[in-house]
Amino acid sequence: MDSLKRSQIKSIVGSDNGGVQFVGQRVLVGGWVKSFHVKPKKEVAVDSGGTDVAPRDLKCAEALCLKIPLLRCIVKILNQGGNPVGEKLEGVMQKKMEGIAYLRINDGSCVNHLQIVLDSDVHPLEQVTAIGTSVLLEGVIEQAQTEGKYTIELKVDKVLHVGPVNPIKYPLSKSRLSLEAIRVYPHFRARTTTVASVMRIRSILTYAVHKFFQENNFHHVTMPVITTTRSQDHQTAFHITQLLSTSNHEKTQVDFVTLEGVQAAIKEKTKRIEELKRSDSNKEAVFTAEQDLKAANELAQKLENEEKKMEKVVEVDYSKDYFGCEAHLSVDPGLHLESYACALGAVYHFGPVFQPVEQQLSKSLAEMWVVNAEQVFAELECAMTCAEDCLKSLSNSITTGCPDDIKFLSTRFDNKCMNRIHAVLSKVPFPRVSYTEAVEALQKVSDRPFATKVEWGITLSEEHRRYLADELHKRPVIVYNYPKEVKPFYSRLNDDNKTVSAFDIILPKVGTVVCGIQKEERNYMISSRIKEVGLKEEQYDWYLDLRRHGTVKHSGFQINFDQLVMFLTGFGDIRDVVPFPRTKNDAKC
């Protein structure tokens, strides 16, 4: 039994000198094949260092099958039904290969790959040269024999494991795929270099969230995902019920799967197929998407035929439900967090929130992760300072914790990404402007029209916020003291009786990432606000208890974690920075 412990690829190639200090050492590594080329042994000595060369003992058609994903799809189609031509071509993929294979593998620990040198005398090359194959290899680190991207390489003398891949069916067989194309395969897309980089950044940020709050004497408290309490700005929610009995399941299902919803899904699926075709995805991906569209069309036809026959459920008796009352997934853990702040002093929560999003927005999902923090004996100024410090700390964590990933993504997608991060890290505090000042500044803009007219009392639109951060201040900006009508009922009313103690931190490119509020601690005032906005006071009796017994001034804020990842990576679509994005009509896996 080999006593070697598997080494992470990051520990080998992650140093500034490319890992030359490991030359001569025996190591055990594992990972997935990202790319490869094979050379006849007699050509190894005259390698040019850049071009993938197929073995000379392969025929032209065989070499093409190995190199071109589209041709492999054609092979698969020809092979359906036992077509002899297809069988002959597909057999190419299993043909014995002679020579030296140069594999680039990655185990997910870093951006950089490790180059592997494997002789056909050690292991059959045809078993390890398909992109996506997992391997566990042992060998000795050597200086790279040819000049190029790699400083060192692993010369393998033992192959301990091979997880084979069918290159005809594997959706990531192409070396470069668009972000739109890989969204179709959420269970595979983390194997791409791009998505793997994003996930490592999310991991570092997650650790940094806990590190910041723990170092600043906040206590971590988990908040409920299921709640019976709603707030003013969240009128829609995902309901939780067990009232869908087996007998009326089909009838009730129509109330949740509507014809309008299916028709919207058909439009989205049609658009996805067009994107796949434009991105030159393999035929397997297009075929799967077309089958999905066909099923949606059939469902739409069925719903259209039965819509007039189905009886709508007019009323639901929630007293017979699991919780004995109406319950839904939490859209904001902030109210519950206040109760623990009033016992522990300073608390934070990190978890998901849920809200139905009717449109496919680039910055909104049905399931999003947020960070909530709350402090007692703290007014709005304290919350603004803490939120700014937190953003700076989180941004700094990725520049020190995963610089290679940030560099790779900024080079690939947004070369201004690092400039925006440095603007956050600047020692100069974020500019702070009141809502009134922000509106006045926007009203003075004459060189560009806004789709929404700027006037006092409106909710600042995305284009308004983007102008303030991207063009006017060219850095993160804090806007505070909003009109009471555009913020939740629990925001503390200011002395002018028109504005409340609330703030937003607006970041360039992505918009509002942090929302903060000083909570209303006066019992008579918050009771009045609950009646004013038309909420049922009995639903908030537990919340009012915090004001009746030992009331205290307290403030907090919420960070949209997914949008922060968007900002730090330079991505323009939130679906590309979340492991399994949930949007309307799309919840794969």
pLDDT digits (tens, 9 = 90+) for 184-201: 899 999 999 999 999 999
**What would the two tokens of residue 160 be?**
């301990």
Q: Residue 47: is its pLDDT beyond 80?
A: no
Is pLDDT larger for residue 362 or for residue 113?
113
Is pLDDT larger for residue 252 or for residue 570?
570
Give per-residue pLDDT as tens, 541-585. 999 999 999 999 999 999 999 999 999 999 999 999 999 999 888
Selection from 43-57, 72-86, 96-110 with the highest mean pLDDT: 96-110
E strands in 422-498: 432-434, 477-483
In sequence order, which residues have a C-beta less than 8 Å from that of residue 205 and are 6 or more positions away? Answer: 394, 397, 398, 561, 564, 565, 568
pLDDT at residue 256, rounded to an integer: 47
- Beta-carbon neighbour count of residue 226 at 10 Å? 11
Do 373 and 557 touch, CB atoms closer than 8 A? Answer: yes
Helix/strand/coil for 92? helix
- Longest CA–CA span in the chain (Å) reads 89
Do 503 and 492 touch, CB atoms closer than 8 A? Answer: no
Q: Which residue has the tokens 């929610």?
A: 237
Q: Crossing angle, helix 561-569 and helix 193-215, to 10 degrees?
A: 120
Q: Are strands 239-240 and 327-329 parallel, antiparallel or unpaired?
A: antiparallel
Tell me 172's DSSP state: T
Do 504 and 430 touch, CB atoms closer than 8 A? Answer: no
Q: Are strands 477-483 and 219-220 parallel, antiparallel or unpaired?
A: unpaired
Give per-residue pLDDT as tens, 299-337. 878 777 766 554 444 467 888 889 998 888 999 999 999
Per-residue burial over 337-360, b if 16 or more Cβ lie within 10 Å, else e, is bbbbbbeebbbbbbebbbbebeeb
In sequence order, which residues have a C-beta less than 8 Å from that of residue 464 and are 6 or more positions away? Answer: 438, 442, 450, 452, 454
Superfamily of domain 189-238+318-576: Bira Bifunctional Protein; Domain 2 (3.30.930.10)
Euclidean distance between CA atoms 33 and 117, whole angstroms: 12
In sequence order, which residues have a C-beta less than 8 Å from that of residue 313 and are 6 or more positions away? Answer: 251, 252, 255
**What would the two tokens of residue 449 be?**
């029209």
Give per-residue pLDDT as tens, 119-128. 999 999 999 9
For residues 510-537, average pLDDT: 93
Euclidean distance between CA atoms 464 and 343, whole angstroms: 39
pLDDT at residue 233, rounded to an integer: 47
Arithmetic mean of pLDDT over the chain: 85
Euclidean distance between CA atoms 425 and 388, whole angstroms: 10
Instruction: Kindly report the pTM of this predicted structure.
Output: 0.81
Q: Residue 396: is its pLDDT beyond 70?
A: yes
Q: Which residues pair with 577 in a beta bridge?
A: none
Per-residue burial over 271-310, b if 16 or more Cβ lie within 10 Å, else e, is ebbebbeebebbbbbbebbeebbeebbeebeebeeeeeee
Tell me 225's DSSP state: S
**What would the two tokens of residue 54 be?**
């197929």
Do 141 and 12 touch, CB atoms closer than 8 A? Answer: yes
Kindly report the CATH class assigned to 9-58+95-170.
Answer: mainly beta
Q: Residue 530: is its pLDDT beyond 70?
A: yes
**φ and ψ at residue 39, rounded to 5 degrees:** -130, 140
pLDDT at residue 277, rounded to an integer: 76
* Domain ranges across the chain: 9-58+95-170, 189-238+318-576, 244-306
Euclidean distance between CA atoms 553 and 521, whole angstroms: 6
Give per-residue pLDDT as tens, 130-171. 999 999 999 999 999 877 789 999 999 999 999 999 988 999
pLDDT at residue 307, rounded to an integer: 61
Among 414, 517, 440, 432, CA closest to 469: 432
Which is it for the CA torsion 311, 316, 321, 326, positive or negative? positive
State CA 103 to chain mean position distance. 29
